[in-house]
Amino acid sequence: MLFVRPRQDDAPGLRIGLTVGKKVGNAVARNRVKRVLREYFRLRQEQFSCPADIVVVPKRTLDPKQLDLALAVGDLSPAMRRILRDAPRTQALAERS
């Protein structure tokens, strides 16, 4: 699940927040999920030029043992493409508020 909010400042790029609850697993499993998600965003940071804050909340049904970068790419890439596509329209709405 992704929560996205456009930023008002001029700094380009995304700021990422990760919240992984205890229902995902023990500390080792939660840290693995966070490492994989951070790596996904680190490798694609040039693609994300819109100023926005994104909070990523993995589903409880996520199996940390099966999570790898390929699975993260498959799950997050369509959502991120939609966010980047809608970013100019969303930013215009935020500036009016």
pLDDT tens-digit series, residues 51-67: 888 999 988 888 889 89
pLDDT in the model for residue 26: 93
91: in domain: no
CA distances from 42 to 46, 48, 61, 83 (A): 9, 10, 24, 17
Q: Count how many domains the chain has.
A: 1
- The answer to whether residue 19 sits within a structural domain is yes
- Is residue 29 within 8 Å of 66, Cβ to Cβ? no
**Residue 70 forms part of a structural domain:** no
pLDDT in tens, the chain (97 residues): 889 888 888 777 788 999 999 999 999 999 999 999 999 999 988 887 778 889 999 888 888 898 999 999 998 999 888 887 876 655 554 555 4
- Residues 41 and 14: their CA atoms lie apart, in Å, by 9
Tokens 């990760």, residue located:
18
Count CB neighbours of 33 within 10 A.
20
DSSP string, 62-88: --TTT--HHHHHHHHHHHHHHHHHHHH
